[in-house]
Each structure stands twice: as C-alpha cells, then as structure tokens.
Structure 1
Amino acid sequence: MQTRRVGRSGLTVSRLGLGTMTWGIDTPTRDARSMLRAFVEAGGNLVDTAPAYGNGIAEKIIGKLIHTDLRREDLVIATKGGFGVHDGRRRVDTSRKALLDDLAASLRRLHTDHVDLWQVHAWGEAPLEETLSALDHAVQQGMTRYVGISNYIGWQTARAATWQQAVPGRHPLVSGQVEYSLLARRSEIEVLPALRAHDMGLFPWSPVGRGVLTGKYRTGTPRDSRGASDHFAWFVEPYLESKSRAITDAVVRAAQGLDLTPEQVALLWVRDAPVVTAPLLGARTMEQLAPYLALDESTLPEPIITALDDVSGGTNQLRAASATV
C-alpha cells in the first residue's frame, strides 16, 4: 500500500487507515485479529482508536495483538482523549488532568510506552491553552510522537493550530480528523481549507457515508447492518433520506460502469480528494474490509469524479484550485 506524509510533519502513514469504533461491540477479537493482520499484510499501518471505542476494549484488543500477532513497529497507533461515556452519558472533558489521565490509561490498555499520534477527540469547555498544554506535555514526556485534533470545526481548527505555531517550542498540530464523504461535504467549506493553510493532514472518518454509500440501505434496513442495531441506528439514520438516496444511486451507477463496488467508488472519491491523508475504514468484518485493500492501484476517472461532485453538492473548490496551479 502506498504511503503519505501527515501534513508537513515527518510522520508517514499508509493512505488507508483502519478504524476500530466497532471493536469490542460488533466486532469480536477474532474478527479484529483477522482484519488487522490482513491490513498489515496489505501494507497498511495506521490504526485509529479511542478510549470511547467499546469503553476501552478496542485499545485492549490492539494491545493484545501487538504482543501476540504483530510487532509494535508494524503499526502507527493513533488514539484520542477528552471524550468518553460515564454513567451511561457521553461527556467531553478536555482539561489537562482529564486528557493526561486518558492518555495514561490508553497506554496501559495498549501495552506500549507511547502512541504515534494523540488527538483531542472533541472541542471542550476547558480553556484552549490548557488543552493544548496537555498535548505539549505528552510529547515532551515521550508519551506520544505527534499530536492532532478531531471533530473541530473550521475556526476551532485554525485557532488551535495558530496557538501551537505562535510560540517556539510548542508542538504543532499535524492532523485533523472529521467526517468526510459524498454524503458529508460540509467540511470542504472551512475545515479542509484551515487544515491546508496550517499544513495539517486529514483523516476522514466514515468515508463511505456511515455505510449508506454501499447501497445496502436502498430497499430497506438489513437485519445485520448498523442501522438495525440498538446502539448504532442513531448513527445511520440521518442519511436514510431522499437526498442521500440520490447520491447513493449515482455511486451505484458509477460502480457498475467501472466494474467496482459502490463502497470502492465512495472510498476512492475520498482517498484522492485534496488535503486527505488517509480515510479511516469502519469495516466490521473481513468481508467488508477486503474490497478496500484491493484498491491501491485504482483511481476514479476525472469525469466520474466531476459527476459525483455535481450530484453531491457541486464543485470541490479545493480540487478546482489544485487543478489550476
């Protein structure tokens, strides 16, 4: 698998990342093991996780596998801090104490002395300078090699990146992670330009539109899908409406003409979009993951990209700007 640098940093990752949100919930350890081994064998190295995924179980699975099936150096491990579920309620706490406590607990679950990328999971109420001081401390102490942010909107991204760049000795933010797909292009307006302006990479989550762009929801909700589960139905439901259906139909038609699957078309559109470093694959099974691993030499024809841009919201201004440079 080809690799890409994360922004202008020295961190290099595979241009596809393996997401672990379902590990420990819908994806048991045996399936996680099969997926991770296949991913690494295909040349992948970026694995994205968080304490909130399976309430820490996803990190524990990774920690076990890097001591039984893989070497620590085979992976670029990215995790997060500042968000979790407590007493059944989601809570964001980006204070210095909460963040560093989260990272220490992540390292214990992962059975490693450092992660490669540590990200603030969400914008919080703590003063920004306090939040970012925790990132600096973590790098200085060797607990992480690089730092980034997740789910920040445009002005939050720019403010945080500028703060870190303002004073020598602070550690720059190297990446941002946001939802980005043919069904979720809002980040093109402010977030992606902010990332580009500050030389940061982008890790899009849900590049296949929370599974909707596979086409499996076109005639109903399959029983074995996220949309049918008690814990993930809320995640899929926003995209089960007429506009999303029209975009999905266009993806399906493109796939038929290219001898690809709809999910492969949707992923390629994201993978090769401006600013993108590595889309994060949310596959729950090896069967779902395999088609993505076969795409390293594939690209979408420009007319198809343009047609998908048009049906999903119009011209990608960053793509247009790149074409004129």
Structure 2
Amino acid sequence: MQTRRVGHSGLTVSRLGLGTMTWGGDTPTSDARAMLRAFVEAGGTLVDTAPAYGHGAAEKIIGKLIHTDLRRDDLVIATKGGFGVHNGRRSINTSRGALLDDLTASLRRLHTDHVDLWQVHAWGDAPLEETLAALDHAVGQGMARYVGISNYIGWQTARAATWQQAVPGRNPLVSGQVEYSLLARRAEIEVLPALRAHGMGLFPWSPIGRGVLTGKYRSGTPRDSRGASDHFNWFVEPYLESKSRAITDAVVRAAEGLDLSPEQVALLWVRDAPVVTAPLLGARTADQLKPYLELDERELPEPIVTALDDVSGGTNQLRAMPTAGDD
C-alpha cells in the first residue's frame, strides 16, 4: 500500500487507516485479529483508536495483538483523549489532568511506551492553552511522537493550530479528524481550508457515509446492518433520506460502469480528495475490509469525480486551490 506524509510533518502513514470504533463490541477479538493481519499484510500501518471505543476494549485488543501477532513497529498507532462515556452519558474533559490520565491509561492498555499520534477527541470547556500544554507535555515526556485534533470545526482548528505555531518550542498540530464523505461534505467549507492553511493532514471518518454508500439500504434496512441495531441506528438514520438516496444511486451507477463496488467508488472519491491523508475504514469483518485493500492501483476517472461532486453538493473548490506541500 502506498504511503503519505501527514500534512507537512515527518510522520508517514499508509494512505488507508483502520478504524476500531466497533472493536470489543460488534467486532469481537477474532474478527479484529483477522482484519489487522490482512491490513498489515496489504501494507497498512495506521490504526486509529480511542479510550471511548468499547470503554477501552479496542485499545486492549491492539495491545494484545502487537505482542501475539505483530511487532509494535508494524503499526502507526493513533489514539485520543478527552472524551468518554460515564454512567451512560457522553463526557468531554480536555483539562490537562484528564487528558494525561487518559493517555497514561491508553499506554497501559496498548502495552506500549508511546503512541505515534495522540489526538484531542473533541473541543472541550477547558482553556485551550491548558489542553494544548498537555499535548506538549506528552511529546516532551516521550509518551506521544506527534499530536493532532479530532472533531474540531473550522475556527477551532485554526485557533488551536495558530496557538501551537505562535511560539517556538511548541509541538505543531499535524492532523485533524472529521467526518467526510460524499454524504458529508460540510468540512470543505472551513475545516479543510484551515487544515491546508496550517499544513495539517486530514483523517476522514465514515468515508462510506456511515455504510449508506454501500447501497445496502436502498431497498430497506438489512437485519445485520448498523441501521438495524439498537445502539447504532441513530448513527445511520440521518443518511436514510431522499438526497442521500440520490447520491447513493449515482455511486452505484458509477460502480457498475467501472467494475467496482459502490463502497470502493465512495472510498476512492475520499482517498484522493484534496488535503486527505488517509480515510479511516470502519469495517467490522475481514470480508468487509478486503475490497478496500484491493484499490491501491485504482483511481476514479476525472469525469466520474466531477459527476459525483456535482450530485453531492457541487464543485469541490479545494481542487482548484494551490497544492504546494500537499501529499
């Protein structure tokens, strides 16, 4: 698998990442092991996780597998801090103490002395300078090699990046992680331009439109899908409306003409979009992951890219912007 540099940093990752949100829940350890093995065998390196995924179960699975199935150096491990679920309620705490406690616990579960990329999971109420000081401390102590942010909107991204760039010695933010797909292009308005302006890479989550762009919801909700589950139906439901259906239909038609599956078309559109470093794949089984790992030599023809742009919201203005420094 080809690699890309994360923004303007020295960190290099595979141009597809493996997401682990369902690990320890819908994805048992046996399926996680099969996916991680297939991913690494295909040349994948980037594995994205978080303490919130399975209440720490995803990190524990990775920690076990890098001692039983893989070498630590085979992976670029990215995790997060500042977000969790406590007593059934979502909780955001981006204070210095909470973040560093999260990282310490992550390292323990991962059975490693450092993570390659540590990200603030969400914007919080703590003073921004305190949150970012925790990132500097983590790098200074060798607990993290690089730092980034997740789910920040445009002005938050620009403010945080500017703060880190203002004084020599602070560690620059190298990446941002937000939802981005043919069904979710809002990031193009402010987030992606901010990332580009500050030399940061993008890790899009849900590049297949929360599974809707596979086309499997066109005639109803399959029983074995996320949309049919009690704990994930809220995640899929926003994209089961007429506009999303029209975009999905266009993806299906493009796939038929290119001898690809709809999910492969959807992924290629995201993978090769401006600013993107590596889409994060949310597959739940090795069979779901396999089609994405077969795309390293494939690209969408420009007319198809333009047609998908048009049907999903219009021209991607970032394609016309200068690309100096992009990878």
Q: Could you say what secondary structure the match of 1:174 adopts?
A: strand
Shift of 1:319: 0.8
2:78 aligned with 1:84: no
- Counterpart residue number, 1:200: 200
- Counterpart residue number, 1:227: 227
- Counterpart residue number, 2:154: 154
What amino acid is the match of 1:87?
N
What amino acid is the match of 1:179?
E
What amino acid is the match of 1:214?
T
- Counterpart residue number, 1:48: 48
Judging changes above 3 Å, is the alpha-carbon distance between structure 1 residues 50 and 124 closer, same or farther for their aligned structure 2 residues?
same
- Counterpart residue number, 1:274: 274
- Paired with 2:34 and 2:232, the residues of 1 have a C-alpha distance of 23
- Paired with 1:188 and 1:317, the residues of 2 have a C-alpha distance of 8
- Counterpart residue number, 1:98: 98
- Paired with 2:225 and 2:287, the residues of 1 have a C-alpha distance of 13
Shift of 1:213: 0.2
- Paired with 1:105 and 1:323, the residues of 2 have a C-alpha distance of 39
Aligned residues: 324
- Counterpart residue number, 1:188: 188
What amino acid is the match of 2:13?
V
Q: Could you say what secondary structure the match of 2:321 adopts?
A: helix
Q: What root-mean-square deviation, in Å, do the aligned CA atoms of Structure 1 and Structure 2 show? A: 0.9
TM-score by length of 2: 0.98
- Paired with 2:119 and 2:321, the residues of 1 have a C-alpha distance of 29
Which structure 2 residues correspond to residues 62-77 of structure 1 after superposition, within 5 A? Answer: 62-77=62-77
Q: Could you say what secondary structure the match of 1:125 adopts?
A: coil
What amino acid is the match of 1:49?
T
Q: Could you say what secondary structure the match of 2:210 adopts?
A: helix
- Counterpart residue number, 1:26: 26
- Paired with 2:232 and 2:138, the residues of 1 have a C-alpha distance of 32
- Paired with 1:230 and 1:94, the residues of 2 have a C-alpha distance of 29
- Counterpart residue number, 1:243: 243
2:145 aligned with 1:120: no
Which structure 2 residues correspond to residues 126-137 of structure 1 after superposition, within 5 A? Answer: 126-137=126-137
- Counterpart residue number, 1:255: 255
CA-to-aligned-CA distance 1:135-170 (integer Å, 9 cap, x gap): 000000000000000000000000000000000110
CA-to-aligned-CA distance 1:43-80 (integer Å, 9 cap, x gap): 00000000000000000000000000000000000000
- Paired with 2:162 and 2:152, the residues of 1 have a C-alpha distance of 14
Q: Could you say what secondary structure the match of 1:277 adopts?
A: coil
- Paired with 2:10 and 2:164, the residues of 1 have a C-alpha distance of 17
- Counterpart residue number, 2:61: 61
Q: Equivalent pairs: percent with the same residue? A: 89
- Paired with 1:322 and 1:33, the residues of 2 have a C-alpha distance of 41
- Paired with 1:146 and 1:235, the residues of 2 have a C-alpha distance of 30
* Structure 1 residues not aligned, in runs of 5+: none
User: Post-superposition, which runs of at least 4 consecutive aligned residues in structure 1 deviate over 4 A?
Assistant: none
- Counterpart residue number, 1:111: 111
- Counterpart residue number, 2:313: 313
Q: Could you say what secondary structure the match of 2:182 adopts?
A: coil
- Paired with 1:107 and 1:145, the residues of 2 have a C-alpha distance of 13
What amino acid is the match of 1:198?
H
What amino acid is the match of 1:100?
L
Shift of 1:275: 0.2
CA-to-aligned-CA distance 1:284-319 (integer Å, 9 cap, x gap): 011110000000000000000000000000000001
- Counterpart residue number, 1:8: 8
Shift of 1:320: 2.4
CA-to-aligned-CA distance 1:68-96 (integer Å, 9 cap, x gap): 00000000000000000001100000000
- Counterpart residue number, 2:294: 294
Shift of 1:323: 8.6
Shift of 1:322: 4.7
Shift of 1:2: 0.1
